[in-house]
Amino acid sequence: MLFHVEMQVRIPPTLDPALAERLKQEERAVAQALQRSGVWRHLWRLVGCYANVSIFDVESPAQLHDILSTLPLFPFMEVTVRALCRHPSSIIDDENSNRPINT
Q: Confirm if 58 and 39 have CB atoms less than 8 A apart.
A: yes
Q: In the set 17, 18, 70, 87, which binds its own copies (CB under 8 A)?
A: 87
Among 9, 17, 48, 70, which residue sits at the site for its own copies (rule: CB under 8 A)? 48
Of 4, 3, 5, 7, which is closest to residue 50 (Cα–Cα)? Answer: 7
Residues 5-44 as x/- pattern, contact with its own copies by CB under 8 A:
x------xxxx-----------xx--xx--xx-----xxx
Among 22, 93, 97, 100, binds its own copies (CB under 8 A): 100
Q: Integer distance in angstroms from the first to the last C-alpha of the chain?
A: 22
Is the Cβ–Cβ distance between 89 and 14 less than 8 Å? no
CB of 22 to its own copies, least distance (A): 15
Asked if 68 interacts with its own copies (CB under 8 A), we say yes
Find the helix or strand (DSSP H, E) in which 34 lies.
helix 17-37
Which residues are CB-neighbours of 19 under 8 A, at least 6 positions away? none
53 contacts its own copies (rule: CB under 8 A): yes
Contact residue for its own copies among 18, 21, 70, 98 (CB under 8 A): 98
